[in-house]
Amino acid sequence: MNLNQTLTELTALPLDDRLRVVESLWNSMGPEEPVTLSPEQRAELDRRIAAHEANPDELLSWDQVLDRLRASEQ
């Protein structure tokens, strides 16, 4: 399998299909495969958590996120 070719083919898929691929890959990772974060990733997560805690009413639903993604592709 050629990973670069596979990635090229996947990125050519329509948005809905790419999201399904991402979801499938994410769901394939079990708790026995912990994700290691870089210091920069940890800092970004901490920043986002703090922003959420400061403004908890500014959340978007999953449907709102998908709508924004779909609108940005058009």
Cβ burial of 19 (10 Å; 0-12, 13-18, 19+) is middle
Q: pLDDT at position 32, please? A: 82
d(CA 43, CA 51): 12
Q: pLDDT at position 46, please? A: 97
Q: Is the pLDDT of residue 74 over 90?
A: no
Q: Is the pLDDT of residue 73 over 90?
A: no
**pTM for the whole structure:** 0.47
CA 62 to chain CA mean position, Å:
11
Tell me: the pLDDT tens digits for 15-70? 999 999 999 998 898 878 888 899 999 999 999 999 999 999 888 899 999 999 99
Other Cβ atoms closer than 10 A to 18:
14
